[in-house]
């Protein structure tokens, strides 16, 4: 839209006609003041301004327009008398396109100039728009970049704080960040830890996964730089995507050595347990058949039958205790191991337990050292189970020495302590911490002695539930001393239920 500003309506009329014929939209103002009001309200592509007007003249109007940011770029054509100085005309309006036309106006020249300035205006406007869009784009990118930097920083802080070995890599697989743990396993940031010689090469598997754009998941044994022992780790990589495109990879190595060992022990346990259960059953079956035959033949002397029965009974007892242990394990696991608590005399319990062992192990000498005539609040049968277990183990793991010492005293703290000391095969110090764990059996001796590796675990659970402590002192070839402590009963402790 073009604005014509002239105080003479007849001039406006003729100019308007010329422009409209040439398909321009036109608005008009009869004074400088009116023109300024209109310019403030709407935008024009060109202003044709009469220089000589009463009140505010054309120059003043132009000067005012140049002060408004909205309209400062609108081109102006001044209409002036022939003798007006051109320099004077451009004064005060330097930023927009400016031209002049002398009166009387020649239509062709007017249209030519209008078209040129109109085009300049449109080009300037397009340029300004493009510049604005460009600025917005730059701003947006800057923000996105800052946000990305913050996210990367955040991710790195997280990766530093986790217990795993962690790294990030570019989409092409080049490692760009590693956490502190990484450097315990690899001498350099860009190199993966070295895998066990029998395990797949990590670098190769990583490159393969990257080339196929798929996450990597593998179990691999790696070791710390200055250690010899390999630990099984789970390596897992995850892509970070932006608009469905992978921009980064995050990877972790998680130490799953303990998990692996526990799994292995459980498998081993199941196979041993089924074997252990089957052996007495087979014997029982055989004795039953023998008994059957003894009865059906004339040979049925009561002595022979009694012997078979006794042997079968022994195997039934064995089976019973195996099944009882297995049941205890499942009760502990489901939190259903029940205790029948009452106050009992500890000396009586210890003496009884030793008697039970003596009756079934005639070849063994059990030497008693010290007595504690105190009372305990707890489950008598379960504590007996612990003593029997310690004693049975002391005998079982001392194939060449059948002397076991049972020491009983009070600790400096006033708790009852029982020690079962044997002179058997012993246990090396590095195994002491694990000996009370579920399914744990010392590898070197597990083939020589029957067992499930659950007895000491059950003992530890029983003692814990009695607020006691337990442990072992032992060295290979020198025998072992297994101990447990439990609190003495006082009127106050009766009130403390586990």
Which residues would be at the binding site for ligand ADP (CB under 6 A)?
A: 393-394, 397, 422, 424-427, 435, 440-442, 445-446, 451-457, 480
Phi, psi of 225 (to 5 degrees): -55, -40
By C-beta, is 11 or 361 nearer to ligand ADP?
A: 361
By C-beta, is 130 or 323 nearer to ligand ADP?
A: 323
**Shortest gap between Cβ of 400 and ligand ADP (angstroms)?**
12
**Shortest gap between Cβ of 457 and ligand ADP (angstroms)?**
6
By C-beta, is 453 or 468 nearer to ligand ADP?
A: 453
Q: What is the DSSP string of 114-156?
A: HHHHHHHHHHHHHHHHHHHHHHHHHHHHHHHHHHHHHHHHHHH
**Shortest gap between Cβ of 173 and ligand ADP (angstroms)?**
47
By C-beta, is 265 or 374 nearer to ligand ADP?
A: 265
By C-beta, is 200 or 477 nearer to ligand ADP?
A: 477
Dihedral (Cα; 430, 433, 436, 440), 10-degree rounding = -40
By C-beta, is 58 or 453 nearer to ligand ADP?
A: 453
**Shortest gap between Cβ of 242 and ligand ADP (angstroms)?**
54
The reply to whether omega before 38 is within 30° of 0 (cis) is: no
Q: What is the DSSP string of 162-231?
A: SSSEEEEEETTS-EEEE-TTHHHH-SSTTSPPPBPTTSPPHHHHHHHHHHHT---EEEEEE--TT----E
Using Cβ positions, the residue closest to ligand ADP within the complex turns out to be: 451
By C-beta, is 143 or 444 nearer to ligand ADP?
A: 444
**Shortest gap between Cβ of 453 and ligand ADP (angstroms)?**
4
Collapsing DSSP to helix, strand or coil, 477 comes out as coil
Phi, psi of 431 (to 5 degrees): -95, -10
**Shortest gap between Cβ of 441 and ligand ADP (angstroms)?**
3
By C-beta, is 372 or 458 nearer to ligand ADP?
A: 458
Please tell me the distance from the alpha carbon of residue 187 to that of residue 41, in angstroms, as a whole number. Answer: 72
Residue 60 structure tokens: 């003043």
Q: Tokens 């249209």 correspond to what residue? A: 111
**Shortest gap between Cβ of 379 and ligand ADP (angstroms)?**
19
| Overall residue count recorded for the chain in this entry | 498
User: CB neighbours (10 Å) of residue 140?
Assistant: 10
Collapsing DSSP to helix, strand or coil, 263 comes out as helix
By C-beta, is 75 or 426 nearer to ligand ADP?
A: 426
**Shortest gap between Cβ of 475 and ligand ADP (angstroms)?**
10
Q: What is the largest CA-CA distance in the chain?
A: 158
**Shortest gap between Cβ of 476 and ligand ADP (angstroms)?**
9
Of 399, 424, 441, residue with least CA distance to 475: 424
């Amino acid at each position: 839209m073009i604005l014509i500003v002239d105080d003479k309506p007849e001039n406006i009329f003729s100019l308007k006609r010329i422009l409209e014929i040439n398909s321009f939209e036109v608005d008009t103002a009869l004074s400088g003041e009116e023109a300024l009001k209109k310019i403030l309200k709407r935008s024009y592509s060109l202003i044709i301004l009469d220089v000589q007007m009463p009140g505010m003249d054309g120059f003043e109007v132009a000067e005012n327009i140049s002060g408004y940011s909205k309209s400062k770029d609108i081109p102006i054509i001044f209409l002036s008398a022939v003798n007006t100085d051109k320099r004077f005309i451009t004064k005060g309006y330097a930023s927009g396109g400016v031209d002049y036309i002398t009166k009387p106006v020649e239509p062709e020249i007017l249209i030519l100039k209008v078209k040129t300035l109109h085009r300049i205006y449109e080009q300037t406007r397009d340029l300004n728009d493009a510049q604005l869009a460009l600025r917005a784009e730059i701003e947006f990118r800057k923000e996105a970049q800052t946000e990305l930097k913050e996210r990367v920083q955040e991710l790195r802080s997280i990766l530093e704080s986790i217990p795993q070995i962690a790294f990030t890599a570019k989409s092409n697989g080049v490692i760009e960040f590693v956490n502190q743990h990484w450097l315990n396993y690899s001498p350099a940031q860009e190199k993966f830890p070295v895998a066990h010689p029998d395990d797949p090469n990590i670098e190769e598997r990583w490159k393969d996964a990257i080339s196929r754009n798929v996450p990597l998941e593998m179990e691999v044994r790696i070791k710390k730089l200055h250690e010899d022992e390999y630990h099984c780790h789970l390596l897992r990589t995850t892509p970070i995507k932006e608009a469905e495109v992978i921009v980064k990879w995050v990877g972790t190595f998680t130490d799953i050595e303990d998990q692996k060992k526990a799994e292995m022990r459980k498998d081993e346990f199941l196979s041993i347990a089924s074997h252990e259960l089957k052996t007495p059953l087979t014997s029982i079956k055989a004795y039953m058949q023998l008994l059957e035959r003894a009865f059906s033949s004339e040979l049925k002397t009561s002595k022979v039958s009694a012997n078979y029965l006794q042997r079968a009974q022994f195997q039934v007892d064995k089976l019973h205790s195996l099944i009882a242990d297995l049941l205890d394990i499942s009760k502990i696991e489901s939190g259903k191991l029940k205790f029948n608590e009452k106050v009992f005399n500890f000396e009586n319990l210890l003496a009884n337990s030793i008697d039970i062992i003596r009756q079934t192990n005639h070849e063994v000498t059990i030497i008693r050292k010290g007595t504690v005539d105190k009372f305990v609040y707890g489950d008598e049968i379960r504590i007996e189970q612990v003593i029997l277990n310690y004693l049975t183990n002391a005998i079982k793991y001392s194939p060449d020495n059948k002397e076991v010492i049972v020491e009983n005293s009070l600790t400096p703290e006033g708790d009852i302590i029982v020690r079962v000391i044997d002179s058997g095969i012993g246990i090396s110090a590095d195994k002491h911490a694990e000996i009370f764990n579920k399914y744990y059996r010392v590898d070197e001796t597990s083939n020589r002695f029957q067992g499930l590796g659950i007895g000491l675990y059950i003992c530890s659970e029983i003692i814990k539930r009695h607020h006691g402590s337990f442990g072992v002192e032992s060295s290979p070839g020198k025998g072992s001393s297994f101990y447990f402590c439990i609190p003495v009963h006082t009127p106050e402790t009766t009130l403390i239920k586990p």
